[in-house]
C-alpha cells in the first residue's frame, strides 16, 4: 500500500472541560473514499476541522505526508455543510476567486472546472449568479470550487444533506469518478446506507472515539451482524453524549470554517452568504 497522505497520531481535542476527541489514530491512503460515520455530536466535524488544518489538536499531531497539515492547506479541497458562496457573483466568479487565492491560472482552473461541471450537469449555470440557486446547485458549485486548484484530498462534510434524490445521486457519482481517477476523498455522513454505497472504508466515530475502521464487509465480520445498521448499533451501544461540537467556543470557531475557503472577514461573510 502507498504511504499515507494524511496521518493522525494520538490526536485529542478539548474545548474547555469538554473532550471532543480522545486519542485518535488514523491514516488516509491515496485512492480511497473514507467515510466518517457517526451521530450528531460524535466528533466528526471536529475531526474534519483538524484534518483541514483549521484547528490545532490539544494533543497529538495531524500530518500531511511529512509536514503539519496546517502548512499544507493548498493540498486540500474542503466542502463544508454550509457552502459560503457570494450571492452577487456568478458560479464561475466564485470558483475563480477561490482558485486565484491558490495561485492557479484562470485557464487551468476553467479547464478543471468544466471537466467536472459536465459530470455535475452544471456547465450552463457557471455564468449565472448564485443568488437564487437551489441547494443542490450551490452544493455542486462548492464542489467545483474545492476541486479547481487540484487538491490531493477532498474533504466533504455531509455533502448530500438536504439535497433532492437526483442531486444527491449526482454528487455520489462524482465521488466515484474521483476515486476511479485515483483521487482521495474523506466523506462525512450520518447515513449508513450512503456510506456503504460510496465508501471503500468506513470509520465509525462515537463519543469522540473511533469505534471501528474497515470496509463494510470487515465491519459486518467483526460485529457478526448481517447489515451495517446492526453493526453500527453494536459498536455504539453506549449512550451518546450531549452534542457539544457547536456550542460555546466551538460555535465561534465554526464562523471561521468558511473563511478558510473564501478569505472573507466574518462581517463580509454574513453579509454575502447565500444560504
**pLDDT for residue 251:** 46
145, pLDDT greater than 50: yes
pLDDT given for residue 32 in this prediction: 94
Res 68: pLDDT? 93
| Position 236 pLDDT exceeds 80 | yes
The helix/strand/coil state of 208 is: coil
- Please give the pLDDT value at position 275: 41
Q: What span, in angstroms and rounded, lies between the C-alpha atoms of 11 and 22?
A: 7
Whole-angstrom distance, CA of residue 84 vs CA of residue 79: 9
How confident is the model at residue 163, as a pLDDT?
A: 86
Under the banding of pLDDT at 50, 70 and 90, the label for residue 183 is very high
Q: What is the pLDDT of residue 250?
A: 41
Q: Which residue has the higher pLDDT, 272 or 63?
A: 63
pTM of the predicted protein model? 0.84
In angstroms, rounded to a whole number, what is the distance separating the alpha carbons of residues 146 and 155? 9
Domains and their CATH numbers in the chain? 6-272 (3.40.50.300)
Phi, psi of 51 (to 5 degrees): -65, -35
80, 156 contact by CB (below 8 A): no
| Rounded-to-integer distance, Cα 73 and Cα 64, Å | 9
Question: Which residues pair with residue 214 across a beta bridge?
Answer: 202
Amino acid at each position: 500500500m502507498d504511504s499515507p497522505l494524511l496521518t493522525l497520531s494520538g490526536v485529542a481535542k478539548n474545548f474547555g472541560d469538554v473532550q471532543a476527541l480522545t486519542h485518535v489514530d488514523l491514516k488516509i491512503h491515496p485512492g480511497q473514499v473514507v467515510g466518517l460515520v457517526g451521530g450528531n455530536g460524535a466528533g466528526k466535524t471536529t475531526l474534519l476541522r483538524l484534518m483541514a488544518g483549521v484547528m490545532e489538536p490539544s494533543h497529538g499531531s495531524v500530518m500531511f505526508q511529512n509536514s503539519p497539515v496546517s502548512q499544507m492547506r493548498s493540498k486540500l479541497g474542503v466542502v463544508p455543510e454550509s457552502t459560503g458562496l457570494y450571492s452577487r457573483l456568478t458560479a464561475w466568479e466564485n470558483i475563480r476567486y477561490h482558485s486565484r487565492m491558490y495561485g492557479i491560472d484562470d485557464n487551468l482552473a476553467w479547464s478543471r472546472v468544466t471537466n467536472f461541471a459536465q459530470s455535475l450537469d452544471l456547465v450552463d449555470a457557471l455564468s449565472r449568479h448564485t443568488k437564487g440557486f437551489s441547494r443542490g446547485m450551490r452544493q455542486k458549485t462548492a464542489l467545483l470550487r474545492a476541486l479547481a486548484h487540484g487538491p490531493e484530498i477532498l474533504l466533504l462534510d455531509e455533502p448530500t444533506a438536504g439535497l433532492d434524490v437526483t442531486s444527491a445521486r449526482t454528487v455520489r457519482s462524482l465521488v466515484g469518478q474521483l476515486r476511479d481517477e485515483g483521487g482521495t476523498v474523506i466523506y462525512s455522513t450520518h447515513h449508513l446506507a450512503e456510506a456503504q454505497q460510496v465508501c471503500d472504508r468506513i470509520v465509525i466515530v462515537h463519543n469522540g472515539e473511533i469505534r471501528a475502521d474497515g470496509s463494510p464487509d470487515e465491519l459486518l465480520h467483526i460485529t457478526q451482524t448481517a447489515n451495517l445498521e446492526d453493526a453500527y448499533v453494536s459498536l455504539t451501544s453506549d449512550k451518546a453524549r450531549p452534542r457539544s461540537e457547536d456550542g460555546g467556543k466551538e460555535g465561534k470557531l465554526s464562523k471561521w470554517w468558511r473563511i478558510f475557503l473564501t478569505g472573507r472577514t466574518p462581517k463580509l461573510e454574513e453579509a454575502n452568504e447565500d444560504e
